[in-house]
Amino acid sequence: IAVVNNAGINPEGDKINETLRKGERLKNILAEPSIGSRVLETNVIGVGRVTKACLPYLAKEGRIVNIGSYFGSAAGMVRLDLCYYEASKFALEGMTDNMRRSLRRKGIKVALVKPGNILTDMNEDRGESTTLEVAVDIEHAIASSTPKTRYYPGKVGGYQCRTLCMLYEMLPTWMSDKIRV
């Protein structure tokens, strides 16, 4: 049995797309706190809610697959305009690590899938990769006897998602702050 936590909202991204379609520049403005609450409630608390409800059914060898984003490693690429969404993906990274370590003794394996710019309704303008790439990694996380702890399907700015995430995670902050994709 597996649980795939894939629900997510990105109203900040919707506003960014609308602004760019009009040919306007992003304003580097933090969204209203009510938007932040909605994003965190869905993208973080929702994962906790679903996982808690399903845990009794995940006997030994059950799986939990959380769908995050490269924004869980690379915050600030779009400035303040995407702050709450990025924060939710960072939180999901921590939740996934906690679940993986805490549920290991029960035989439940937990993985995080961190897609790049995937062509979806939420990302029609900047999608670089297909949902099939994500699906292949989700299937591996569920079916493999040795699933990875993290998967990085797709691309970001033409680069492999894994490469970009590793740069942000491994470089000193003063260097990663200078990365522009």
| Residue 157: Cβ-neighbour burial (10 angstroms; 0-12, 13-18, 19+) | middle
Q: Is 151 a catalytic residue?
A: no
User: Which ranges of the chain would DSSP assign to H, the alpha helix?
Assistant: 11-21, 33-40, 46-54, 83-103, 131-143, 161-170, 173-176
- Say which of 85, 151, 152, 168 is annotated catalytic: 85
Cα separation values, 94 from 15, 111, 118, 141, 169, Å: 27, 12, 23, 18, 14
The set of catalytic residues is: 85
